[in-house]
Amino acid sequence: MKQLTTRSFLLALLAFVLSIPAFSAPLPRAEYPRPQLVRDAWQNLNGTWTYEFDFSLSGLNRGLQRSQGFSNQITVPFCPESKLSGVEYKDFIAGMWYHRTIRRPAEWAGKRVRLNFGAVDYFCAIYIDGELIGHHWGGSSSFSFDITDAIADGAEHHLVVRVEDATRSNEQTTGKQAHDFASSGCMYTRVTGIWQTVWMEAVSPFGLKNVYIIPELDEKRFVVQPQFFALQAGQTLEVIVRDGKKIVGRAKQRAATPMNVVLPLKSVKTWSPEDPFLYDIELNVCAADGTVLDHVTSYAGMRKIHIEGNRLYLNNKPLYLRTVLDQGYYPTGVWTAPSDGDLRRDVELGLKAGFNGARLHQKVFEERYLYWADRLGYLVSAESASWGMNMQSQISARNFLTEWEEIVVRDRNHPSIIMWTPYNETWGRSKEREAARQHDRFVGDVYTLTHNLDYRPVDDVSGGNHVVADIWSLHNYSQTGKELAEVLTWKDGKAPQFNENEARYGGQPYFLDEYGGIKWVVGQQYAENTWGYGQGPKTLEELYTRLEELTRTIISFDYICGFCYTQLTDVEQEQNGVYNFDRSEKFDMQRVSSIFRLQPEEYNK
């Protein structure tokens, strides 16, 4: 009896020691997740949650929304398919449920409490103590709920998240997630549920809901367009622009809807890849008596992106894009980077390889990635995860329009983003009249929506089936310079097209948006179905020769304004990256960089 008591005591002591924060595992992805709208009063909800799979989608009938904890554990914000989640379940997951407890900090008294999700794939419903808070559709966009009235001061509450993910429905965005059981071709491990940071924050009822910061280089000013949760008599907004510690712009106006706050600058420092200077911006929402209701910090780059004729311009100078395809997959995190440092490293790897930017392919990247692109001077084409949808489906259109609007509004302040790419290779466009008409209407509506939300140029469909586009892009994986030159040479006065059914090229800036994809495996193949485009070279020297030949061929055509090489890293069985899947080097990076830095002489002036 004495032995049993001692053992029980020791187990209890061990449990107590492990519960002490100093002995706890570090919080995953602990950094503030929304760098363009930062508040001090916030609480990161990443870490250990409990979960239950719901393959038959019966959980609601079984009352799982009232759960006080499930029997399995998962590490948020990593998807259950990933190693970092602690689950690593690779088969299809039709539905699942998450649970954790939350408590409002005492110092948040008098504030509204917002529950924020970076991204949940795909549909989710949020419950607190069994009561529905709200729904969200969209696997890549961020969303938020006001949960103030559902939580009490000092009380512990049960937060439950219900997820449904119909990957094979053809009605939702999935990007490169495999629709077969196993990864194959250019389709990879699936993503289900929470895959970005979850957090709570304290916000004034009259605080900022959103801020749109527009740089106007020619006029030497920023124009700030705020949105508020609510307005009250006498409410004002003060905006301060700083260059380091020096205030270079300041304005204070009565809060209104709509409103423009104009901040002229006496002298301007531009943002560019060569010098990615960023202004710090402070926004203060104040009551009539001067009390600060909401204090938010942000930043902005003063840069101009526009089109003249068939040229893209950055800060009124012709811009040649030397970019790389980046799919944003990680061996242990799938869509979620293991750390903030991994996001920065991916930008640094692209720069080291000689690229001045990336096409973010079939995935909406985390805001922290865009933050590092802004900081390090890396040009970005921002794309949706559009694959997985039936382009003739009205339900697909309904789902996509809302999600894409949320994406553009969330990310439009980032100076690194120089164009929007809603779609990639819309293979579903049929020659049948009605189907083609639905496709074209869908693409045209998204083009118009994007321009209504932001000023940047739009490449409607990267690679082909263009309908209406500011940027014209083509994909081609010819593996010799001669073959590529044949493709890129105009015939009968016409530029190369994806197919005869798409709109005709109208003189827009023209980019070879995918090329290369040369297979090269260092060490062991990832899988038996490992592949790359064309016949892989037999020696490294042959690879370097092919790479330079293809790149020089592209820059020899004066109507082409840039290229995008496939790809930055290997992704699972697709082993054609400049780097290995684990981000280790494959090649002589000095030699590779010298090739990707090539550009026509006119852009060197």
Q: How many Å apart are CA 112 and CA 567, to the nearest integer?
A: 44
If one counts the domains in the chain, the total is 3
99: CATH: 2.60.120.260
pLDDT in tens, 95-153: 999 999 999 999 998 899 999 999 999 999 999 999 999 999 999 999 999 999 999 98
Q: Is the C-alpha dihedral spanning 460, 464, 468, 471 positive or negative? A: positive
Grade residue 433 by pLDDT with cuts at 50, 70 and 90: confident
User: Which range marks the domain in which residue 408 is found?
Assistant: 305-604
| Residue 24 banded pLDDT, cuts 50, 70, 90 | low
Q: What is the CA radius of gyration of the chain?
A: 25
Looking at the structure, tell me whether residues 255 and 358 fall in a common domain. no
Same domain, 358 and 448: yes
Q: How far is residue 228 from each of residues 210, 255, 293, measured CA to CA in Å?
A: 7, 8, 12
The CATH number that applies at residue 254 is 2.60.40.10
Q: Where is the domain boundary, 244, 267, 300?
A: 300
Percent of the chain with pLDDT over 70: 96
Cα-to-chain-centroid distance, residue 431: 33
| Digit-coded pLDDT (tens) for 443-499 | 999 999 999 999 999 999 999 899 999 999 999 999 999 999 999 999 999 999 988
Q: At what angle do helices 481-488 and 540-555 cross, to 10 degrees?
A: 20
291 with 343, same domain: the answer is no
C-alpha dist (Å) from residue 591 to 168, 352, 354, 515 = 43, 11, 10, 19
Dist CA 543 CA 538 (whole Å):
8
Report pLDDT for 7.
44
CATH code for position 495: 3.20.20.80
| Both tokens assigned to 53 | 């799979």
Give the whole-angstrom CA distance, residue 175 versus residue 94. Answer: 17
Cβ(233)–Cβ(255) below 8 Å: no
Position 42 in a domain:
yes
Sign for the CA dihedral angle at 139, 144, 148, 152 comes to positive
* Domain stops at, among 254, 283, 300: 300
- For the chain, percent of residues with pLDDT exceeding 90: 90
- Does pLDDT of 546 surpass 60? yes
Q: How far, in Å, are 198, 222, 417, 538 from residue 461 at the CA level? A: 32, 31, 17, 35
Is position 8 within any domain?
no
Question: Binning pLDDT at 50, 70 and 90, where does residue 430 land?
Answer: low
Query: Is residue 5 within a helix (H) or strand (E), and if so which, with residue range?
Result: helix 2-19
Q: Where are the alpha helices (DSSP H) in 365-432?
A: 367-376, 394-411
Q: For residue 86, give every residue at least 6 positions away whose Cβ sits within 8 Å of its Cβ, in sequence order, or none.
A: 73, 74, 75, 78
| pLDDT for 73 | 98
332 and 249 part of one domain? no
Specify if 244 maps to a domain: yes
User: Residues 468, 586: one domain?
Assistant: yes
The reply to whether 478 and 573 lie within a common domain is yes
Please identify which residue in the block is written with the tokens 């970092």: 84
Q: How many CA atoms lie within 13 A of 408 on its CB side?
A: 24
The three-state secondary structure class of 64 is helix
The CA distance from 159 to 45, in Å, is: 11
Tell me what pLDDT residue 428 has. Answer: 63
Among the candidates 179, 203, 227, a domain finishes at 203
Do the domain assignments include residue 181? yes
What is the residue-wise DSSP string for 547-584? HHHHHHHHHT-TTEEEEEEE-SB-BTTB---SB-TTS-
Give a yes or no: residue 407 inside a domain.
Answer: yes
Tell me if 16 is assigned to some domain. Answer: no
DSSP codes, 78-130: S-TTSTTTT----S--SEEEEEEEEE--GGGTTSEEEEEES-EESEEEEEETT
338 in the same domain as 457: yes
Give 464: exposed, middle or buried? Use CB within 10 Å, 0-12, 13-18, 19+.
buried
> What pLDDT sits at residue 19?
41
As to burial, measured by CB atoms within 10 angstroms (0-12 exposed, 13-18 middle, 19+ buried), residue 434 is: exposed
Quote the pLDDT of residue 13. 42
Q: Are residues 247 and 156 in the same domain?
A: no
CA distances to 191, 549, 565 from 482, rounded to whole Å, are 40, 9, 18
Confidence of residue 11 (pLDDT cuts 50, 70, 90): very low
Position 576 in a domain: yes
Q: Please compute the mean of the pLDDT values over residues 164-193 and round it to a whole number.
A: 97
Any idea of the CA torsion for 100, 101, 104, 106, to the nearest 10 degrees?
Answer: -130
Residue type for position 267: S
Strands 560-566 and 321-326: parallel
Based on the fold, state whether residues 509 and 435 are members of the same structural domain. yes
pLDDT band at 93, cuts 50/70/90? very high
pTM of the model: 0.94
Q: Show the tokens assigned to 225.
A: 């367009």
Mean pLDDT (the chain, rounded): 94
Higher pLDDT, 276 or 435: 276
Per-residue pLDDT tens for 219-268?
Answer: 999 999 999 999 999 999 999 999 999 999 999 999 999 999 999 999 99
- Per-residue pLDDT reduced to its tens digit, 416-427: 999 999 999 997
Lowest mean pLDDT: which of 71-75, 193-197, 198-202, 522-526? 522-526
Q: Rounded CA gap, 365 and 384, in Å? A: 9
Domain identity same for 475 and 456: yes
264 and 388 both lie in a single domain: no
Asked if residue 15 is part of any domain, the answer here is: no
Residues 404 and 289 in one domain: no
Element (H, E) at 540: helix 540-555
